[in-house]
Each structure stands twice: as C-alpha cells, then as structure tokens.
C-alpha cells in the first residue's frame, strides 16, 4: 500500500468534532472512579516512557502526538521529552482548534491528520499515542501504523499506549465514556503484531496503573509489577529500524 493510499483512520472527523468540546469533561467523568484526572495519567505515561528509554533518550527530539485530541499530552511532552518541536495530528479539526487555543505556540502545532502525509518522511524522532487505535476500525489499523512509521526517522521511537483489554475495570470504565462504548480494544499481543507488521522492532511491553487514587500508597510497587498484565493501560515501546 502506498502512503497516498493510506485509509482515513479513526471514526469520522464529524463524529469526533461533535464531542470535541465535551471530550475532556466526558473523559474525566469516566475516570472519576480512579480518583485521578486525565492530566495525572498523561503525566505518568510520559514519565514512565522517559524512564524506560533510559540512556537512549536525547533532549530536543521532534515529537509527533498521533491522535492528539485536545492536546492533553503537550505539557508532558515538553516536561519529560524536552521536545524541540511538537506536532499533534487528529481526525477532528475542532479538537485541533481547541488544542491550538490552549497549547499552541512556538514549536507546537496541531493539524488535521492529512498534514502528516504532507510532511517529509523521517520528520520526527519520537511518536506518542494514547488510546487512539481502539477507535480505528481493525482493517484500517495497519495503515495508521504505517503512517507513524513513515513519519519517524530511522532509529526513531514510538510509544504506543493503549487500554488493557485484559483488565475488567478498564472495560467497565470505557463503557462509562460515550465515545469509548463502541471501541474495539486491542490485546497487547495484537498491538505488538500490528507494529511489527508495520516494520517496527518491539523493545518492550509494560503495564501501568494498577492502583486507584485511594490506594496510591501502593503505587511504588507498580514498577516491580510492570511486566504483568495487571494495569489499566499498557505501553508497547517500539523502534524504527536504524
């Protein structure tokens, strides 16, 4: 499949445009049982990603936020990845507009998904996504992964975060969020095969977010349990072959 034949990903832009203004409020309502906000999880995801990259991390990376929504990850890409440039892309133009108003500025931009195909191949050092691929129809997921692969330079990293389909609490919380109810979740093995099929080398799979806020004192133990499929979300850290 040639890049210019890649399918449009995700639900239609119109569907996400309809929920863009209420997206954050709806998400936080679904998360209320965890005792945390979406910002807590965005911060923790990128802090963990930075931790597992270790010495391979270099400040000043050019970062792609694939399926950026309203831009929640932007401050944490700056904080943990020290990004020199951030481009967020999404199927929802209204979400991009909201993200631009709140987070746009020097070195930070948001654009419709098609913009990604206009950029030069290998434009980015690091790509991040969270909870995006469960909204993409399964036949279109390979095309979405190919888009990210093309956008990364050789040796670039992809932090692929998804909701853990093995976790029953995650499934329950997704049913409480209107735009997640019809989502088709990916099991971790599916995610690894998807990324490997796009050409990525799989570095590791970790699971995070076992304990809710009420049991926050137990969270230091999570680092020792990250290899077990217990957490509400998982990270597949992948690399574009150098």
pLDDT value at position 2? 33
Segment 145-173, tens digit of pLDDT: 999 999 999 999 999 999 999 999 888 88
| Contact by Cβ (8 Å): 147, 119 | no
Specify the pLDDT at position 225: 95
Q: Where are the domains of the chain?
A: 3-240
What are the beta bridge partners of residue 201? 239
Give the torsion through C-alpha atoms of 46, 23, 93, 157, to 10 deg. Answer: 20
The DSSP result for 47-99, as a single string, is HHHHHHHGGG--TT-EEEEET-TT-TTHHHHHHHH--SEEEEEES-HHHHHHH
Exposed, middle or buried by CB within 10 Å (0-12, 13-18, 19+), for 5?
Answer: exposed
In this structure, which CATH number among 3.40.640.10, 3.40.50.80, 1.10.1740.10, 3.40.50.150 belongs to the domain 3-240?
3.40.50.150
d(CA 188, CA 158): 15
pLDDT digits (tens, 9 = 90+) for 9-50: 444 555 555 555 555 566 556 556 677 788 999 999 999 999
Q: Which two tokens stand for residue 239?
A: 């690399």
Highest mean pLDDT (candidates 113-122, 131-140, 174-183): 131-140
pTM: 0.87
Cα gap 162→166, rounded to integer Å: 11
């Amino acid at each position: 499949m040639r890049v210019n034949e890649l399918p449009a990903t995700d639900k239609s832009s119109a569907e996400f445009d309809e929920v863009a203004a209420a997206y954050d409020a709806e998400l936080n309502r679904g998360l209320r049982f965890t005792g945390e906000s979406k910002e807590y999880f965005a911060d923790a995801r990128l802090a963990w990603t930075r931790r597992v990259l270790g010495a391979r991390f270099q400040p000043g990376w050019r970062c792609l936020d694939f399926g950026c929504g309203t831009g929640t990850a932007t401050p944490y890409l700056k904080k943990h990845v020290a990004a020199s440039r951030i481009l967020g892309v999404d199927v929802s133009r209204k979400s991009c507009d909201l993200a631009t108003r709140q987070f746009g500025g020097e070195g930070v931009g948001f654009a419709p998904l098609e913009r990604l195909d206009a950029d030069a191949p290998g434009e980015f050092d690091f790509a991040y996504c969270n909870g995006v691929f469960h909204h993409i129809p399964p036949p279109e997921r390979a095309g979405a992964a190919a888009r990210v692969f093309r956008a990364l330079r050789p040796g670039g990293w992809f932090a692929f975060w998804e909701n853990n389909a093995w976790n029953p609490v995650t499934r329950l919380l997704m049913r409480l969020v209107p735009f997640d109810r019809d989502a088709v979740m990916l099991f971790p093995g599916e995610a690894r095969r998807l990324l490997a099929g796009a050409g990525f080398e799989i570095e590791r799979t970790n699971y995070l977010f076992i304990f809710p806020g009420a049991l926050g004192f137990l969270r230091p133990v999570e680092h020792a349990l990250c290899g077990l499929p217990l957490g509400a979300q998982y990270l597949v850290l992948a690399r574009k072959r150098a």
